[in-house]
Structure 1
């Protein structure tokens, strides 16, 4: 485009309607953006940081629907906190320790959000003991009604624990600790509001661990979803501080590239405006930040900085050629808006395909991220050029930009890198690059076969192994047989049928089968209670330790069970939970249990008796793994299909689409291989990574390949076209890769392990997509996108590109086309190096 120094010579009514509407009213546009920023910025102060148990699970899956339909009858078998208090200087029978545990019980019982009817501990009257005597059954609460700490009361308490069989469940195996099982409700009945897990976690820390724990005397261990989420929220607040570090790193990278303070600050401000708008909209829509969505502002900021760098570079070069800053901003808008819009649309696709994952928290992440990308269309494609039309860039920065461009002809400095990369357009280098990529792809594919679905570590994989939560989890797992990894099978029959012989016999068979599955510590159900009670009615004769066919005995035992153990059957006598306590919640362990139950149900289900999956923390996680495994390939299929369509619309050439997509495919394969090597499973936290890497990674091809193709259509050879594209956009592609990686690499230091995993994987994908684009695009172009000019360079007037480029490029340029080319390039080419000569370019010169 012609360099216009005098603003009076520029036609303000030129350009499309959007350009005229924005730039001809730029003061009003900036004021409107400032007003929106102020309004949405005020909403951020009201934004909540929380999480929801229900949103973390695949709600529409049939197994989870079974859980929801029977949740009220199962008595808190989903969202449960387990608190263990340990006497470090004695055992649980120490009167002072027992008095302290009574206070802990009262504190937990009165905590808002606790489902008190189902809370369990030795201090709860619903926890009872039963024994057989010569006169019949005798029983009562485990904790004596009057406990004064005397030796007699202590001996009675000890006897009651043994009679109730609480060792390993509510009493530690070493008799040094007591457990409290605290079910939670999703909504606080007193306020009607969703439970604030951050507040609940702080309450447990301050009012239980902080109040009753004493170093060297009493230790408190807390596990469960609510505590885990509370720790994650605490980690989130630390991660938010990394935002400033990411911004500083991005600012340093951009400044080193431009050496212009004003444009660097402007780029960061526009990206921050997009983040402010996003957070304000999240609040207005009634959403909140959770451990997953808190990462979205980082991604939006990184994407915004990378796209802003493209606009800044174009304006900087135009100003260096003598163009007025206002005209340079409009020129850059014309050249880059369509390409930037397409690239942001590809980013949105990467987020949008996450909607196929049937987990609400991931759908929320996809929605908020898509909104964030939409904000970038306004802040980075419109607001940034308008702002730069006021402030411009420093004279030194613009002159330095042109000096770097002129250095290309001699290959000095970093320009030698671009000349080196242009060698990949030649056959020997292209063959080497393609062969090396093929070897990497095959090796990566075989390594990626070892990647697993779900968690691969014991404890809470969301947190570091050395975290307080995982230390607590390890202690409880080592001292109790009823682990927090509880898998529950729901046995459904007709009302008042729970004591039927067939129902109990089938339940007993399932319980026995579960005990044989590797990874199952123990299993129990109502049938065990019935068997023990029937045997007790027969003076404890072991011959009666099986399900009796006598309906009178079964009915009597069922009545006792309903009274003393309401958690093993509902009051309608139709829903029986079968409990399996697992050694861990690794994917293989869960898969074995699910396979066993599915097979058992297929063989034993009938019209009036069904075995349903699934409840309990481990059961719900097993279903989540099923959904993740199904969504993994489907999600990749959708994201690649969308990227292929976008690339075809942009390039109008199936060959160009292949050139653009193959580097993305290679990166996806290598990312899964890296996950296998690092021991990172495919789960809710890592599932979005590959889709995001593909959706954002295609930006490199959109910017680089578009310029290369346009240059080839203007008559350049492949080598010339690629070198020109590298000068105009290639260096900014490298800058984009670095800034994107800088925006997420700080996650690697997060105390939240899945955020650290996401940071490592996204950094790998952003950098490797950049490297793949810079090397594989020219190499693949040598085989797929060469024109006649590459074969007969001495006869540029006779070019037949029909076999090589899309139909839109095969038309011979007429006088009007030549005139348009001269207008776009600023006149005839005169003594210009073939590596830096201008070309008609819809993306603009950078």
Structure 2
């Protein structure tokens, strides 16, 4: 069947090329119109309990796209007119930002922060600093005193040293566009920034805005990596076909994949450019293998003329490499498809993109490359005199020597130790972010420095809210049981060092109670009397304007929130907090109402981390199982499935161990790379094993078959691996830490996969002599052939 496919493609090359050209031109139009953006809702596992709570209450208690802006001074305090005018102007400017929730802008200059006054004439509340900045020293001193005696402002919105203040802004999730919000907030900051005040800003819209900001640099790195790839291919292969055809294979696969995804309505995430480069490297690798096999066939048939030689060599290359090439493509696609089991839409869409992209390699590399090779008129000859092939052959000679000597047992023994040692070390792999700040950016990036500075002065920039109440019981939040539970819960959770503070209506009532008693601090506490607490709640509502109580309770007082402020969003921090929340709920059952976990950015991340934690082992195991089944079907041998697991396990264990060593967590961004790496770890091994099988089939001795396979398919492995390793290492200069680390991760994956294919795989084959390669004779050659040096 494979021979017939090869014969058809070469003999009907004109209609084949014409069809592929027409399809490529049509899809290129769609590819040019694909959207490059990050959609927040795609990151949410909508069926998770926490996300349901978040979606239900985000408009009331705060969403996960909150932006925090800090204005700080180096000397003195913020209670100066020029400083507070900047706070006012910036607060008002936030109303002009796209997708902003007008009712979720809070600062000293907003109506949200108020002071409650009690006198013989009644109770009233007034904004601390609205609508104007205090114009006299006396008014400024009054504002300062009001802030100092208000625990809901002093600490949460004005730093304890009085040198900084916050503006918090929330957005409507369905409408937010990170690139637009980032630019508009930056423009508002520049309007007031004259250098006298330091302005720092954090939040997911800002974080992903930075990702979009560095998109031009990312595209430059893509072109630099492409240039390095082409230059090295030209030097190593010494032919123009060795440069142009792999480039064409990568370009065609990209056009087809992006065009098809645009038709399917799937956008392109900026962070998955790393995955795109990884898949493109597979196109280059498959194409180089075919070009290298074509060149081998040129030397094997010196009697043929140029006109006949190109077609014959192309047909042989296509026929011989069709099976390992297709198996490699299917394995990559199948392993990536496992990620679609995740309920996270972003990963599902990325899976479709990746599977489509990988599948296009069957056209761009496996078929198009040999068909175009058949058109070459003068296949013999080289484009430049520099010949590095002897150097590469020395490496291959060394691999042959290791395999055919007793050193092969040492290779297998060391491989076993590596699997065990790296596997044990890899058990420390963290789920979620493994370091403070954002792992997408470097520690010295402005965003991470701003985050560190804000967390040092305030309670924390990342928030999680827990809801207590009952939709069917309006007013239940006013009950003594619920209010007391809120208060105890806050004290319990604030023991965790990473939680800087908490906020709920239980913090407001003690303040109001003290105000009613002429500020006597003895009364700044929650009453044990339900009637008193209910009365205080009613008084609070009576002096509040619409929207003032939104961050504490809903309109019916059926549900209230306790908001926890986190100083970091590391996976361990979030897991500890969620475990403590569940511990408190279990130990403090309610007679009325119930607890609901968990909203805010930390609540959403907790849901994502739980899904990754619960599905990581299953996904990896399933991907390995899929790979084993594919190998078993293709080679009709269960031993084949087991044999090809070895290089995969080695590459994955070493890579996961490297992630532990470098502090790279398994999160929503790294999961796709890990899944694709499972297929990546076995591609090179397919070519080596299939070439050994091919040589045995024509009667070679096992020694000659191993030698021939390493000098032929091994040359393709060493060329593509060295080229792609160097090009992916270029990503380490990226301003995005995620891209830099994933580039390094890919380079390690490629290096380990190549080493496994050149040393471990031949040793396994030669020692165990599997029947699917050697047949029932166990490798006894019918016609012994001399070894090739």
CA deviation digits over 1:689-712, x for unaligned, max 9? Answer: 332222112111211112223433
How far apart are 1:147 and its partner, in Å?
Answer: 4.2
How far apart are 1:467 and its partner, in Å?
Answer: 0.8
Q: Verify: 1:693 aligned to 2:677, yes or no.
A: yes
- Tell whether the 8 Å contact from 1:122 to 1:142 is kept in structure 2 after alignment: yes
Q: Verify: 1:310 aligned to 2:289, yes or no.
A: yes
The runs of 5 or more residues in structure 1 that have no matched partner are 1-13, 189-194, 406-411, 786-803, 819-827, 837-846
Q: Verify: 1:738 aligned to 2:722, yes or no.
A: yes
- Tell whether the 8 Å contact from 2:109 to 2:130 is kept in structure 1 after alignment: no
Q: Partners in 2 of 1:200 and 1:72 — Cα distance? A: 18
Q: Verify: 1:507 aligned to 2:494, yes or no.
A: no
CA deviation digits over 1:377-429, x for unaligned, max 9? Answer: 1111222222222235642149999x999xxxxxx754343332223334621
In the other structure, the counterpart of 2:600 is 616
Q: Partners in 2 of 1:393 and 1:560 — Cα distance? A: 93
CA deviation digits over 1:86-107, x for unaligned, max 9? Answer: 3456532322332233221221
CA deviation digits over 1:790-826, x for unaligned, max 9? Answer: xxxxxxxxxxxxxx5149923899xxx99xxxxxxxx
Structure 1 residues 520 and 404 mapped into 2: Cα distance closer, same or farther (>3 Å)? Answer: closer
Q: Partners in 1 of 2:519 and 2:165 — Cα distance? A: 29
How far apart are 1:731 and its partner, in Å?
Answer: 1.3
In the other structure, the counterpart of 1:42 is 29
Partner SS, residue 198 of structure 2: strand
In the other structure, the counterpart of 1:3 is none
Alignment of 1:583-732 (within 5 A): 583-606=567-590, 608-732=592-716
Residue of structure 2 aligned with 1:480, choices 436, 458, 466: 458
Q: Partners in 1 of 2:496 and 2:55 — Cα distance? A: 26
Alignment of 1:750-761 (within 5 A): 750-761=734-745
Q: Verify: 1:51 aligned to 2:58, yes or no.
A: no
In the other structure, the counterpart of 2:272 is 293
In the other structure, the counterpart of 1:388 is 373
How far apart are 1:670 and its partner, in Å?
Answer: 1.5
Structure 1 residues 28 and 285 mapped into 2: Cα distance closer, same or farther (>3 Å)? Answer: same
Residue of structure 2 aligned with 1:438, choices 416, 420, 431: 416
Alignment of 1:135-534 (within 5 A): 137-145=123-131, 147=133, 149-165=135-151, 166-188=153-175, 195-205=176-186, 207-215=187-195, 217-320=196-299, 321=301, 322=304, 323-391=308-376, 394-397=379-382, 413-426=391-404, 428-481=406-459, 483-493=460-470, 494-534=473-513
Structure 1 residues 68 and 541 mapped into 2: Cα distance closer, same or farther (>3 Å)? Answer: same
The runs of 5 or more residues in structure 2 that have no matched partner are none
Structure 1 residues 728 and 20 mapped into 2: Cα distance closer, same or farther (>3 Å)? Answer: closer
CA deviation digits over 1:456-515, x for unaligned, max 9? Answer: 22222210111111111122112222x112222121323221101111122222111111
Structure 1 residues 399 and 261 mapped into 2: Cα distance closer, same or farther (>3 Å)? Answer: closer
CA deviation digits over 1:723-755, x for unaligned, max 9? Answer: 121122111122232244345322222211122
Partner SS, residue 270 of structure 2: coil
Partner SS, residue 391 of structure 1: coil
In the other structure, the counterpart of 2:550 is 566
How far apart are 1:16 and its partner, in Å?
Answer: 6.1
Q: Partners in 2 of 1:465 and 1:415 — Cα distance? A: 43
Structure 1 residues 531 and 346 mapped into 2: Cα distance closer, same or farther (>3 Å)? Answer: same
CA deviation digits over 1:292-340, x for unaligned, max 9? Answer: 3222331232111100011112222334423432332223222222321
Residue of structure 1 aligned with 2:771, choices 805, 822, 844: 805
- Tell whether the 8 Å contact from 1:350 to 1:696 is kept in structure 2 after alignment: no
Structure 1 residues 605 and 241 mapped into 2: Cα distance closer, same or farther (>3 Å)? Answer: farther
The worse-fitting range, judged by mean Cα deviation, of 499-508 and 38-47 is 38-47
Q: Partners in 2 of 1:50 and 1:687 — Cα distance? A: 19
Partner SS, residue 570 of structure 1: coil
Partner SS, residue 478 of structure 2: coil
Residue of structure 1 aligned with 2:756, choices 767, 772, 790: 772
Q: Partners in 1 of 2:767 and 2:241 — Cα distance? A: 44
How far apart are 1:567 and its partner, in Å?
Answer: 1.0
How far apart are 1:652 and its partner, in Å?
Answer: 2.8
- Tell whether the 8 Å contact from 2:465 to 2:599 is kept in structure 1 after alignment: yes
Partner SS, residue 116 of structure 1: strand
Partner SS, residue 762 of structure 1: helix
TM-score (norm 1): 0.86
In the other structure, the counterpart of 1:63 is 50
The worse-fitting range, judged by mean Cα deviation, of 765-774 and 57-66 is 57-66
- Tell whether the 8 Å contact from 2:392 to 2:718 is kept in structure 1 after alignment: no
- Tell whether the 8 Å contact from 2:469 to 2:482 is kept in structure 1 after alignment: no
Structure 1 residues 146 and 79 mapped into 2: Cα distance closer, same or farther (>3 Å)? Answer: closer
How far apart are 1:114 and its partner, in Å?
Answer: 0.2
Q: Partners in 2 of 1:439 and 1:499 — Cα distance? A: 63
Q: Partners in 2 of 1:326 and 1:309 — Cα distance? A: 18
How far apart are 1:556 and its partner, in Å?
Answer: 2.6
The worse-fitting range, judged by mean Cα deviation, of 137-146 and 264-273 is 137-146
CA deviation digits over 1:350-392, x for unaligned, max 9? Answer: 3212223332222222211111112211111222222222235
CA deviation digits over 1:38-93, x for unaligned, max 9? Answer: 3333334433222122222333222222222333332x232101112334565323
Partner SS, residue 187 of structure 1: coil
Partner SS, residue 168 of structure 1: coil
Structure 1 residues 812 and 690 mapped into 2: Cα distance closer, same or farther (>3 Å)? Answer: closer
Partner SS, residue 646 of structure 1: helix
- Tell whether the 8 Å contact from 2:505 to 2:560 is kept in structure 1 after alignment: yes
RMSD of aligned C-alpha atoms?
Answer: 2.9
How far apart are 1:720 and its partner, in Å?
Answer: 2.0
In the other structure, the counterpart of 2:115 is 129
The worse-fitting range, judged by mean Cα deviation, of 126-135 and 293-302 is 126-135
Partner SS, residue 85 of structure 1: strand
Partner SS, residue 84 of structure 1: strand
- Tell whether the 8 Å contact from 1:350 to 1:694 is kept in structure 2 after alignment: yes
Q: Partners in 2 of 1:146 and 1:485 — Cα distance? A: 30
Structure 1 residues 750 and 260 mapped into 2: Cα distance closer, same or farther (>3 Å)? Answer: same
Q: Partners in 2 of 1:357 and 1:744 — Cα distance? A: 28
Q: Partners in 2 of 1:530 and 1:99 — Cα distance? A: 31
The worse-fitting range, judged by mean Cα deviation, of 303-312 and 578-587 is 578-587
Residue of structure 2 aligned with 1:784, choices 760, 768, 775: 768
The worse-fitting range, judged by mean Cα deviation, of 467-476 and 332-341 is 332-341
- Tell whether the 8 Å contact from 2:44 to 2:344 is kept in structure 1 after alignment: yes
The worse-fitting range, judged by mean Cα deviation, of 733-742 and 660-669 is 733-742
Q: Verify: 1:834 aligned to 2:787, yes or no.
A: yes
Q: Partners in 2 of 1:780 and 1:388 — Cα distance? A: 34
Partner SS, residue 477 of structure 2: coil
